[in-house]
Structure formats: structure tokens, C-alpha cells
Amino acid sequence: MRTLDDLDVKGRRVLVRADLNVPLDGETITDDGRIRASVPTIKALTGAGAKVVVCAHLGRPKGRPNPAFSLKPVAERLAELLGEDVAFATDVVGDSARGVVDALGEGQVALLENLRFEPGEESKDDAERGAFAEKLAGLAELYVGDGFGAVHRKHASVYDVPRLLPHAAGGLIVAEVEVLRRLTEDTERPYVVVLGGAKVSDKLGVIANLLAKVDRLLIGGGMAYTFLKAQGYEVGKSLLQEDQLDQVRGFLNEAAERGVDLVLPVDVLAATGFAEDAPHDVVEATAIPADREGLDIGPRTRELFAAKLADAKTVFWNGPMGVFEFDAFSGGTRAVAEALIRAEALTVVGGGDSAAAVRKFGLPEDGFSHISTGGGASLEYLEGKTLPGLAALED
């Protein structure tokens, strides 16, 4: 992939596809990690005299304008982080966008409104998507892909536009790909992967691919209960995907055949219901009461997982160990994060809820080797899939 060093950007309009898909509470940004991650590439371009036009998506507005998904609060936060004004276009490729872009001077920045307000952005119809891509590409002379969290999507701004303009990868994508290659090629061992989150079905591909590569696979979060059920244990009212039991039994058998240490919780916090203040007890993971649901891994599991991480040389973590949004059930996720900080290893946090948890707990981000901005994209890369956005940048 070409990088920023391969583009002559001075005085030229550069369209930057960033990932600014941040969580909002009304108009308040509750986690600005993705915005902060976009700043170095934007600053590098403005410092070189580019006229920077940033585009991004937010949420799922389903192809039409929706004020609840406006990027205006993001423009304001981006301006604060850059320390300079960010002009905001109230549409994507309409009169406002063209006016804002035409007014840019060297070293100045504009942000277009939410890409997903346009039906062409996500269209499965190549012609509709291509027509929108041509309008978007018409706003610029060069393209920089820096939204790693979107590169697994065959969307106009990710896949089609770089085929229409001279293009390069931004610093964020370059860093993401470099780290992910270290997780798939010549990986230093022991190699430990920690997977959590709600559903096994979200992780099928990555588990299938990683069983041939890892030394240990630690399973927590809601997906652990399907593994426990597959072994014949009672899981009470815990999250369970019964349609995945046969698949999970296959994973358990394959791990045993390959000598992979597949580690499940030995105790859990079993609550009377899904609530912050729900009464709960520590119970054996193999004997969850029928009227309880597991909401976090227990203290012995936290120690077990920490021990399995202690001598690791490479660690990838994706997915919380429990309902970390509730303080009472956040201890397992925090324990895993802190174990990664202590490990003398390449430690990669796979974006999404895992990255959000790190920030929620106030843990030092430089305590990890890399915090990805793209949970889904990271997983698909580790599954061995071709990511459309990366393929377009490699052309």
C-alpha cells in the first residue's frame, strides 16, 4: 500500500475516509477514542499544506438524513483536538459540501455530513454505489483511507472512491495492518487469544481460523455459556445460543486434537436478573442455578485467566468478560485488561467494547501495544478474509 509519503498533497484537496463512528448520548460524545485516533493523519496532511476533506459515517440512519446521527458534534470535538476550526458541511455531496470544500485554504479542514445519509454509500447495487462514489470523488483530487473500522465494508467511500482517485493509506490503517500481520505471520509464542462478548456466532470465523494458530484460547463473556452448555452443564438463564451448540462442540474437539489450551470460566457471578443492582453470588461455572444468569466471570476465573496470560509473548483480546457497563459486573473485564498491561508481550486490544472498557476504567492506553479502532474489521482480518477497503488501497 502507498502511504502519505507517496502523495504530493500541497495545495490539493484530499478526501480522508476516517472512522468517526463514536457513541453519542444525545449530542454528547461518550467516547472520543476514534476521533483522537484520526488526528495524526489529518495533522500530517494539513502540515503538508493539503486542503483536507474528512468523510465518515455515524450509526445506521438507513440512507436518509436523521438529526440524531449528525456528525456536527464530531466536527466540534475534532476542532478541539486539532486546535483549529473545522468547517462543517450540512450535506454530503450537495451545495453545502461543494461550498465548504471550495472555500478551503491550504492546511484547513472540513468535515462532510454523515455518509450514510446517502443511500448510495451502502448500496448493494454497483451502479447506485458507483454514482455516489463519483460525486464524492468529485470533491477532491486525492484520497486517503484511514478508517480502519470500515475497511471490511464494500461501501462507496471505502471501496469505490479509491478506485477513482490517486490514493494512499493513512497512518492509522498502516499501523493497524502492521500489528494484525504480527498476529498472523511469524507470531511470537506463547500466543494467547482472549475472546468475550455476547454471541459465539459473532466469533465463529475467527475461532475456526485461530484454532490452527494459537497456543491458548480463553473464552469469557456471554459466549462462554454456550461453551459450558455444549459440555453438558446447566447455565440457568444465562445468554445461550442453542443453534451453535454443535459448532461449539466441534471447536472443543478440534482444540483437544490440536493441543490448544481452551480455557473456560470456572466460576461466575450469577445474578437474579439483568440489572446493575441485581443480587448476585459467586457460583461454580458448572453449576449455575436454573433461576440465575451469569453476568461476569468470577474471582477464581480472573486469577486463572491472568495466569494463562502471564508468560504470553503475543496476546489478542476482543470482547468483554461480562456486562462491564454495570460496575458490579465489570471486574472480570478489568482483570483481563490489567493482566495484559502486566504481560511482557505484544498486546493488541481488538477495538469495540474492549477498547471502550479500557477507556471506561481509565487504564493507561500506552499500557497496551496497540488498541485497534476496528473490532469487526480486526476479526475479519484474523479470519483470513479479504477486506474490500484494504484491497482497494492495495491496487
Q: Which residues participate in the annotated binding site for substrate?
A: 19-21, 34, 57-60, 116, 153
Cβ distance 57 to 42 under 8 Å? no
Establish whether 376 is a catalytic residue.
yes
Q: Which one from 12, 13, 34, 51 is the annotated catalytic residue?
A: 34
Query: Could you tell me which residues are annotated as the binding site?
Result: 19-21, 34, 57-60, 116, 153, 203, 294, 325, 351-354
375 is catalytic: no
Grid coordinates representing 78 are 475534532
Chain position carrying cell 448500496: 123
Helix 375-382 and helix 352-360: axis angle, to 10°?
130
Long-range contacts of 106-109 (CB under 8 A, 24+ apart): 106/10, 106/11, 106/49, 106/50, 106/51, 107/46, 107/47, 107/49, 107/50, 107/51, 108/46, 108/51, 108/52, 108/84, 109/42, 109/46, 109/52, 109/54, 109/78, 109/82, 109/84, 109/85
pLDDT of residue 395: 84
Dihedral of CA 99/102/103/108: which sign? positive
Q: State how far the Cα of 360 lies from the Cα of 348, in Å rounded to an integer.
A: 17
Show Cβ contacts of residue 52 under 8 Å, excluding neighbours closer than 6 positions.
14, 16, 42, 45, 46, 104, 108, 109, 110
Q: What are the per-10-residue average pLDDT scores of the chain (395 residues)?
A: 96 98 91 93 98 97 96 98 98 98 98 98 97 98 96 97 98 94 91 93 90 96 96 96 96 96 98 96 96 98 98 96 96 98 95 88 94 86 92 93
Instruction: Extract the runs of DSSP E, i.e. beta strands, from the chain.
Output: 13-17, 24-25, 28-29, 51-55, 86-88, 109-111, 142-145, 167-169, 191-195, 216-219, 261-263, 267-271, 280-284, 293-297, 314-318, 346-349, 370-371
CB neighbours (10 Å) of residue 58?
22
Active site residue 308: no
Grid look-up 438507513 returns 62
Which of 2, 77, 199, 249 is catalytic? The answer is 199
Q: Is 199 a catalytic residue?
A: yes
